[in-house]
Structure 1
């Protein structure tokens, strides 16, 4: 059935017009997802996917590997792979509120090419199942499986060019949330700990405000609306998957990385959560284990939409320095 067709149970009889209220929007979550009464879904932010292959601007080759419920797009900087021996591995998890975007989205594909070339590193961008077709924990499960697959070195690019002793996680927004989950549920495989994680504008929330967040209960509930929708089995805003600092949440000493870099943006309403997370990790790991980058005057995931701006380049440079500082 095409995405714009009505389900068969709602299809009009011959000669009848479709019920006008079937095109009524019943749920809308910003530019990420629009849900119609008919069950039809729209993802306005999503751009047509781009194919993998050699990127002439960066010299990075890419390919897709299909792994059942999920897939991965791998990135290999060819010149560095030919001369530099084993490279660090960056497992990247895209954002999109668990409901939108893709590893094949133009913005993510461009960023992974830039990141893989700049480090240089083997990049693995995870294509996980999206809600609401696949409610959480599907995305968490897919990304955990993908991390285990990377660490098994089953792919020739990973086995030939990747250093399993220098594995990093990175992700933005919901993808940064997933990276925290991966670090808390590190698969039992015979490899060293993850060297580090980069959480870009992480999507965390909670019932109690932190920093400059709104204190209004109605606004706080609206801020959690998408979370409640994508995770029908959640315990609420203080579910440890959404609020790692909630009372009773597993201790952050369990995190399976040595260091973390947290990126926050001044205009992003999630900036206070990112800062609070960095402070909470520093409290159990020490200040030296945490790096906080706060970008003035920018909003959520600005670097994806303005990759040529100076602040996006600064963020990329800081990520590269973070990875290379952890590869000695």
Structure 2
């Protein structure tokens, strides 16, 4: 095969930078793909982690994080269980990405929770609802009775289960709470924390950008993530998976919504919070906003003062403090 023929066969079919590049050969390149970190003892926090494969046929796995026993959380004391869904637009990042591995080590240590980080399937190879199905299967596993793992059996308090996630992971956490509220399985949740949630819609809300190229990019990404919704007249951007409805059915008693003032998705987070409060849902909702920062700033600059404050807000939420 000559060079020109090879290049033609390997031409770029489409690119959505900084997420993914897809070639005409079918090869998929994740532009922001990072190395992965193995589980084990984190010397900085004392947290121990391990991977557990739940479904060998699909590759679904979770990474568990167990904080060290302290005076506040002795070895014989049950601690809250946090099921965490990573972000990345449903396309990039994994539970083993350095960003999330380091964040969960810190969060588990500071909050004193047993964290279950879900490594769900990603688009475009596995479009939605694959990530939702994996995330629900992992949640059912984490909350099963009797507990499915010795760490959960020995230390996990299944009366205090929380969900959290950032960006696409916050989208997932919302939908898992909706399933729980609809009575799916026997999952019972105390609260969910949605950090910079990935929601969208055809029409702008509030001061959301009206910039045509920016909105076109958001629509194109969603159609890659969820091509099954693309047959709708609106291109699928008002699909309830990305523009949630029926918030009164949310299956938890507490919600934390965190937004960043310079985030393109800021208005969607605020809109979600306001609609939730008006919906008739009977729980308690809290909205926090950080000025001067953008999307997932707390992960990109984890050592900053604002990231530390964001961590403390999450810790307070998981420990039942205002």
Q: Same fold (TM over 0.5)?
A: yes
* Shift, 1:267, TM fit: 1.2
Deviates more, 1:210-219 or 1:175-184: 210-219
Cα 1:226–1:83 shift into 2, 3 Å: same
Residues in 2 aligned to 1:300 and 1:190: alpha-carbon distance in whole angstroms:
34
CA, structure 1 residues 21+166, in 2 after alignment: closer, same or farther (shift >3 Å)?
A: same
Alpha-carbon offset, residue 218 of structure 1? 5.8
Q: Is the 8 A contact 1:116 1:123 kept in 2?
A: yes
> What TM-score, normalized by structure 2, do the two folds share?
0.90
- 1:83 and 1:311 map into 2 onto residues whose CA distance is 32
Provide the residue aligned with 1:221 in structure 2: 216
Of 282, 286, 289, which residue of structure 2 is paired with 1:291? Answer: 286
| 1:200-237 C-alpha deviation (Å, 9 max, x unpaired) | 11110011111111235664333221111121111411
1:229-253: per-residue Cα shift (whole Å, max 9, x none)?
1211114111001001xxxx3x211
C-alpha contact 1:52 1:62 (8 A) present in aligned 2: yes
State which drifts further: 119-128 or 180-189: 180-189
Contact 2:22/2:29 (<8 A) preserved: yes
**d(CA) in 2 for partners of 1:142, 1:150:** 12
Taking the aligned partners of 2:242 and 2:177, their CA distance within structure 1 comes to: 14
Q: What are the superposed Cα offsets for residues 121-140 of structure 1, whole Å, 9 maximum, x if unpaired?
A: 00000000111111111000
- Alignment match of 1:75 (pick from 60, 65, 81): 65
**Structure-1-length-normalised TM-score:** 0.89
Quick one: which of 154, 158, 163 aligns to 1:160? 154
- Is 2:126 the counterpart of 1:134? yes
CA RMSD of aligned residues (A): 2.0
After the TM superposition, which of the residue ranges 269-278 and 24-33 deviates more from structure 2? Answer: 24-33
Question: Any conservation in 1 of the 2:252–2:283 contact (CA below 8 Å)?
Answer: no
Per the alignment, residue 183 of structure 1 pairs with 177
Q: Which residue of 2 aligns with 1:55?
A: 42
The superposition leaves residues 14-62 of structure 1 with CA deviations (integer Å, 9 ceiling, x where unpaired) of x776432233322222211111222221112121100000101001000
State the distance in 1 between where 2:216 and 2:54 align: 37
CA drift at 1:160: 1.0
The verdict on how the C-alpha distance between 1:213 and 1:67 changes in structure 2, with shifts beyond 3 A counting, is same
Moved over 4 A (4+): 15-18, 216-219, 285-288
Which residue in the other structure is 1:115 paired with?
107
SS in 2 for 1:130: coil
Contact 1:166/1:326, CA 8 A, preserved across alignment: no
Q: Is the 8 A contact 2:249 2:281 kept in 1?
A: no
Which of 11, 28, 46 does residue 15 from structure 2 map onto? 28
* Structure 2 residue runs without a partner (length 5+): none
The answer to whether the 8 A contact 2:103-2:299 is kept is: yes
After superposition, the C-alpha distances for 1:87-109 in whole angstroms (9 at most, x for unaligned) are 00110000111111000000100
Gapped regions of structure 1 (runs ≥ 5): 1-11
Q: How many residues align?
A: 308
Distance 1:221 1:31 in 2: 15
The whole-number CA distance in structure 2 between the counterparts of 1:129 and 1:30 is 20
